[in-house]
Structure formats: structure tokens, C-alpha cells
Structure 1
């Protein structure tokens, strides 16, 4: 443990301890000599102005009146936190088609400076942290910024929206509630004033977004969760049914570890297959995921959903029989 991490650990020990901590215990916790413990205590008290009280016999602690308020000046991170920050820096710079990296460029530069300050002369192998976007969509950066601004400023938002399913273009005025990142894409959850209902909008389909002066209508989190998180996927709403899907024994090894829905239920069948039950509202996205597994997945219930899956497979097969 280097000196930087020892000071951080010493601070955390003293801050969380209700009673004085002996030098012997500090020596064991910090994995250093008795003399080093005293030097670190002196540095923490004299250079960083920590409210340390006590002595070598009774032990040391933070003053009860000031210890709860004292924090180390600046930003102190241990090695694990620093590595996590490095990974986050790479994620910001390489994800979302550059939108996040551009919007958060000032923060990214501060992270890089922090990494340099605490690298102790080491060169961080940033090329070994890889982020590979999967099926991300291109977004208008101006629209993305305005959507985020409206969400955070609690202002209404006006924009043109082109629905993916019908390609119909409409003009919307909404009260943004939250912005959601789902499957490498961004979605706006909002109260649609024209439809008088909650809706989710794919941000890549939003154009000419404009933040209005009018204050956004706030919807309670419980209502948002009931409507937007109550069923399968981002295109959600009140659940209309429970889908039962059975996966082959080969696919079961992956599906058993996957998170499809907060209320999903899964179990292994005696023959090694895996049965998954998941609430859903619209069938489209659910069937897209099921068909991704091809012959290793079978929709069992409800019958209507099973027939939809069968029809999709028949139409796909027809493409290859022409």
C-alpha cells in the first residue's frame, strides 16, 4: 500500500470508528511500521487539518464535534476507484456515437488530469479498455442537448417526432420526466400534452427540439414506474399478459443469467431446458429478443403470442423459398 492509499485508509478508519484506535491496530490495518503510522497521523493532522485527538497509549480518533464534518480536501480515490474512473472515462469517450464525449468533454479533461496527478509516474494502458457500441443509432447532438437540458431544468419541450413504425411526422409538446439509456440508445420519458398521457420517445427520432419557458408538469416516480417500467422493454405500459418462453438446454446456460424484466420468473426444467416467464405489453420487442435465439427458443403461452411468433418465422422462411 503506497502513502496515498494509506492516508485515505487512515482517514476512513478514523472517520468510521466510534472509539479510539490503537497504533497497533492502525499498523495492522495499514500494513506499515509503527513509525509510519505516526508520520501519517502527523501529516493528516498538520497538513490536511484533520481533527485528530488522542495519544499513543489510548489510541487516536476524530474529535466527536468536528469529525463528522471533516473530509479530505480535493478528490481522494483508492486504486480500485481510480481504475473504475479510468474505465468510465473510456466509456464516455467511445460510446453513444460521440454525443456523450462531446457534451462531457470538460468533465473528461478533468478526469484525465486527475489520472495524471495520481498515476505516480505510471502510464495508464488506456488502449486496454475497450467499449464497442452495439447497434447504436445516430442522434442529432443539438436535439440531444436540448432534451437533456429540458429534463434537468424542468422545462417543457417542443419537437418534431417521426415514428419508426409508421414514419409519420408529428409535432409534440411534452413535459420531460427522465432520459433513459437502453440498449445503446437514448429514450425520453415524458408527459405528452397533446395525447394527455405518458409516452416514451426515441431521441434519435427527435428533430428541431426547442426548450420552452413553460414549467414542466412533474409526474410522481411511482406513476412513471407503473406505466413505463411495468412491462417488458422500453416500449412499455401496463402489462397485458405474461409470456412463457422455453429455451433449449444449450441456450439455458446464457438465459438463466440474463435480466429481461424486474418481475421475471425463471426455472430449470427436469430435462435441462429453461422456462422464463416475463410480463409484456407490446409483443414486438419481446418477439425480437425471443427470435434472436432461433431454434433454441419456443414461445409457449399465450396462444396469441405463440401464433405471432409462428407467423414471423413463416414469413422469414418464405423469403428463402422464393
Structure 2
């Protein structure tokens, strides 16, 4: 039977007979609203005495369901920054969805969310009854996610935590960064703006004081990170979606280039099905081939992708990229051209 408190008369003189559980949930909702949270007002809302309100608050706090303090200046209760949410019930399908999402290596392998997500999932699992747990385990056998990461991000937990704190406090960060373009380490002061997982890696979008612009940093190349006391102001017009809008992979905000590619009949439908969203125009040809047109930031990333299709992809435009491909394919052909007896390599 539902636990009920004895009826208590409130200031209006009526008797409140709602179950205790319902009163506790109502109390939590009222506190989360952050509106007029005086003990007297809460007592009126619940139909109980102020003494009972204090008892309910202690009960919620003792069970880690609420973290509040009484502000003498505001003369009302206010929530602490770290607090718990109301109890939530999950169906087996909802619990499964959370289990599958939490199994994503991109999130669980050393990201800033890994520790909190693991803690949350442990709490959810502990609240599931035996039948629901069995149903979730059964469904998990038929669904999985494998978003591979190309770096061990457990080794970068300290750096990820520093970035997390810098996001929250809007503080500058001094990093020691290995730049692949120069094969050297650089010390840079950055304003961290956005963290994103793309192409199997975590990347940081940040304003670089050295370069005077927003740049992209791969987290696995950050050797050290130190949060500084100085704060920064986030650019009002910064939008990570715009940054990557025409990126073929992760590089963004360079010169925009129109690239036209012809795919052979053998792969045309595969390209259309798997990569069609990347092109703004796709034209099927009478012979079954397909001409695709893309607008992208620079040509380096899309060039690597085009080369992965081998002889089934031909660059039509721009002309300079077509010439570059001619040089690359000639160099590749030379690697596989049979050598003369005098010029053969030993051990091949």
C-alpha cells in the first residue's frame, strides 16, 4: 500500500491526503522550477506543514535526489549546481537504446563523457527489474554500434578533462601541439570553442592566438594542456555546423572548390547510395556511368577519397586537379611497372 502521511491542515484549513510519493515528486518539481521556493509557499503547494517540508527535504537530500541550500538574501531555496534529477522509469526498448548508445567507442573510450556516462548506466541497470534486464540483454544480442577510434583516448583523459573545465569556465588554455604539417611541436594559447568526433578522431575547434583565427586541432596530437586564469569571450557568430558545412572530412573554412567526378557504371549506384548526400548534383549517363558535382573546402581530402575508387573514378574538373591526378597515377604506375633484370630490387 502506498505510504501516506497523516492528513495535515494547511493555512487554508483543508486536509491534504495525497500519497507521500506524489508529494515528494511535487516538491522536487517545484524546486526545479526555481520559483518562490519559501518554506511557507512549498507547504501551501503540498498541503502540509512547514515542518513536514523540512522533513521531506532532508529525506530527498539523504537519498542524493536533491542538493539545495537556503538563500538568506533571496529568502528562498535554490538548487546547487550539481543536483540529481527526478526518478525516471524506462521501458526495455528505452533502456536498450541507452545501452547501445553508451556502447559507442567514440563516447566510452576516454572522452569527457565516459566517466559520467558509465556512472549513469550503472545506476540505470541497478534500477531495472530482473525481467527487464533479461529483455535488454536479449535485445542487445541483435544490435551493436562500432564507431572505431584510431587513437587510444584513455591516454588523453587529463587533456579532455582540462578542455571540459575550460568550456565550462570560458578560460584560455595553453597547449603543446604536434603539427603534422611541420612535424614539430608548437606552444599555442587557444580559446576552446567546440569538441567534435569525426573521421574516427576527436577534434577541437578553437581560436588560436598565434594564428589569429579559429583552427582545428586533433586531440590526440595535444601533448599537454594547461588551463589559464584568463577568460575569453566566445565569438557571437561562431557556428561549428557552418565551419564543416562544405568539408569533405574534417578540414573546413578554406577556399571553396567545385569538383566534378565521373564514376564508372560498375560503381555508380554504390556511390549514389552511400555518398549521394555529399554531392549537390548527380547526373546518370546513358552508358550507366554517373557525373557528380561537389562544392568542398579545398581538394586534399576529396582527392584521397577519389583515389580510393581507383580507375572507376575520373576527375573532370577543375583542370589543375585533373593534372595532379595524372601525375599521381603515373607515379603509381611506375611503382608497379616490371623492372629490367639489372634494375630489379632484391627481396621483392
The two structures have a TM-score, normalised by structure 2, of 0.64
Question: Bigger radius of gyration, 1 or 2?
Answer: 2
Describe the superposition over 1:45-103 as per-residue Cα deviations: whole angstroms up to 9, x where unpaired.
9965799xxxxxxxxxxxxxx9xxxxx95223334322211101211xx4468213x85
Q: Which residue of 1 is the match for residue 199 of structure 2?
A: 183
Aligned counterparts of 2:322 and 2:226: Cα–Cα separation in 1: 43
Q: Which residue of 2 is the match for residue 310 of structure 1?
A: 326
Residue 206 of structure 1 deviates from its aligned partner by 0.9
Aligned counterparts of 2:146 and 2:195: Cα–Cα separation in 1: 22
2:270 to 250, 254, 257: 254
Decide whether aligned partners of structure 1 residues 278 and 301 sit closer, same or farther in structure 2, where only a CA change above 3 A counts: same
Q: Which residue of 2 is the match for residue 74 of structure 1?
A: 87
Structure 1 counterpart SS, 2:109: helix
Check whether the contact 1:148–1:179 (CA below 8 A) recurs between aligned residues: no
Are 2:127 and 1:111 aligned?
no
Decide whether aligned partners of structure 1 residues 74 and 297 sit closer, same or farther in structure 2, where only a CA change above 3 A counts: same
Q: Which has the higher contact order (CA 8 A, sep 6+)?
A: 1
1:84 to 94, 97, 109: 97
Check whether the contact 1:160–1:206 (CA below 8 A) recurs between aligned residues: yes
The 5 Å alignment of 1:55-66 reads none
Check whether the contact 1:187–1:200 (CA below 8 A) recurs between aligned residues: yes
Structure 2 counterpart SS, 1:250: coil
Decide whether aligned partners of structure 1 residues 264 and 181 sit closer, same or farther in structure 2, where only a CA change above 3 A counts: farther
Are 2:114 and 1:98 aligned?
no
Aligned counterparts of 2:331 and 2:295: Cα–Cα separation in 1: 26
Residue 215 of structure 1 deviates from its aligned partner by 1.4
Residue 111 of structure 1 deviates from its aligned partner by 1.5
Are 2:252 and 1:242 aligned?
no
| Structure 2: unaligned runs, 5 residues or longer | 1-17, 27-44, 46-84, 340-348
The 5 Å alignment of 1:109-258 reads 109-121=119-131, 122-123=133-134, 124-125=137-138, 126=140, 129-134=143-148, 136-139=150-153, 140-221=156-237, 224-258=240-274
Check whether the contact 2:106–2:197 (CA below 8 A) recurs between aligned residues: no
Check whether the contact 1:227–1:237 (CA below 8 A) recurs between aligned residues: yes
Decide whether aligned partners of structure 1 residues 272 and 197 sit closer, same or farther in structure 2, where only a CA change above 3 A counts: same
Check whether the contact 2:283–2:291 (CA below 8 A) recurs between aligned residues: yes
Decide whether aligned partners of structure 1 residues 209 and 268 sit closer, same or farther in structure 2, where only a CA change above 3 A counts: same
| Structure 1: unaligned runs, 5 residues or longer | 1-43, 52-65, 67-71
Aligned counterparts of 1:266 and 1:318: Cα–Cα separation in 2: 33
Aligned counterparts of 1:297 and 1:88: Cα–Cα separation in 2: 36
Decide whether aligned partners of structure 1 residues 246 and 195 sit closer, same or farther in structure 2, where only a CA change above 3 A counts: same
Check whether the contact 2:257–2:299 (CA below 8 A) recurs between aligned residues: no
Residue 292 of structure 1 deviates from its aligned partner by 1.3
Check whether the contact 1:232–1:278 (CA below 8 A) recurs between aligned residues: no
Decide whether aligned partners of structure 1 residues 292 and 252 sit closer, same or farther in structure 2, where only a CA change above 3 A counts: same
- The two structures, once aligned, show a CA RMSD in angstroms of 3.2
The two structures have a TM-score, normalised by structure 1, of 0.68
**Moved runs in structure 1, 4+ residues, more than 4 A?**
44-51, 125-129, 221-228, 259-263
